[in-house]
Amino acid sequence: MEQKNVINFYNNVFNPKLNLNNIHAEKLWNKTLVGKKKSLSEKKHSQNKKKNTAFLNVNTEELKRRLNFLNQKSQIKILKYNSIVHASIESYLRMSKYIGKIISLSDFFFPMFEEKLENYRLPKELKYLAIIESNLNPVVTSKAGAKGIWQFMPETGKIYNLDINHLYDERNDPIKSTEAACRYLKFLYRKIGNWEFVLAAYNAGPGTVDKILQRSKNRKNFWELWEFFPKETQNYIPKFIAINYVMNYHKEHNIYKYSSSPYKYKYKETILIPIKEKISLKFYAYNLNISYQDLILLNPQYLVDLIPSGNKLRLPKNKIFILKNKERFFSKKIHKN
């Protein structure tokens, strides 16, 4: 399978057509600054109450209470209410099918994210960043060239030891890119020491945050400096708070897992094996009696149907006994090729 076909395959599997940057955060913030009696989000809520009762049936006080509860449990302490956050939550709640798909995909990714975050002593809530970054699509590429589930640019990826070549791109590797994201987030927190600004730096770059902080030394709160950030970053923190809320309270809004996950195996039901000689994914799929598509899903870092020697392949654990039984055959077949 060529690189283009691999990407098309993933796009067909994930394909979340959405744009959460259209919540008009600037207008909302201006409404808040001038002290209107009723925020824009509250007006929208009342206008759409009948139309979206199943998804928007939460009043402001209840939303504040739930966010306060999440914030008390949180290690990062930034899950606080304002009208921009409220609007972002409503934006997510309107996309019930999308949230349902994300919940389904999270069954595979979140246990691994949590394991890696714990290893690096980072807050587990940071797993939700991957939803904002990539919709949990391990091969998505941004217009700017960022790639993978954690959206690494090539330069940053290489700094964190993610190999990129014509055969494979480790930014697409969910595990290696998650470890890289953990190291990067750890670096940002040591440098900045404030989780709101860490998330802003992950989105806009640490240089942008440094400049804003230097010229506004008396204001140390993200919301006080909100107007100075790029529009995408202005939306980034509200979206992070919103997705935290939605992933914890989706059932209260009658949103549930959407159909079945494209992943037939859970993360803990898979294992990495070393590849001593170059070999094709199709060869493994055929001989281990596993769907070729399932194998691609478990190994999205490979851009072509070839695993170079010295690399690793993720397989379901229940296929390992077949591998051991056929190991000699594999070795002979590889050397013949």
In contact, 251 and 93? CB cutoff 8 Å: no
Which is the catalytic residue, given 42, 125, 133, 170? 133
pLDDT digits (tens, 9 = 90+) for 100-131: 999 999 999 999 999 999 999 999 999 999 99
Catalytic status, residue 133:
yes
Residues 309, 312, 313, CA angle at the centre, nearest 5°?
115
Does pLDDT of 308 surpass 50? yes
Whether the CA torsion 42, 43, 49, 51 is positive or negative: it is: negative
Structural domains of the chain, ranges and CATH numbers in brackets: 3-253 (1.10.530.10), 267-336 (3.10.350.10)
Handedness of CA 78, 79, 80, 82 (dihedral sign): positive
What's the pTM value of the predicted model, to 2 decimals? Answer: 0.82
pLDDT at 218: 76
Does residue 219 have a pLDDT over 90? Answer: no
Where does the pLDDT of residue 215 fall: very low under 50, low under 70, confident under 90, or very high at 90 and above?
A: confident
d(CA 296, CA 300): 6
Q: By C-alpha distance, which of 132, 154, 31, 149 is closest to 88? A: 132
Q: Which residues contact 167 (CB under 8 A, 6 or more apart)?
A: 302, 303, 304, 306, 308
The 3 state secondary structure assigned to 278-333 is: CECHHHHHHHCCCCHHHHHHHCCCECCCCECCCCEEEEEHHHHHHHHHCHHHHHHH
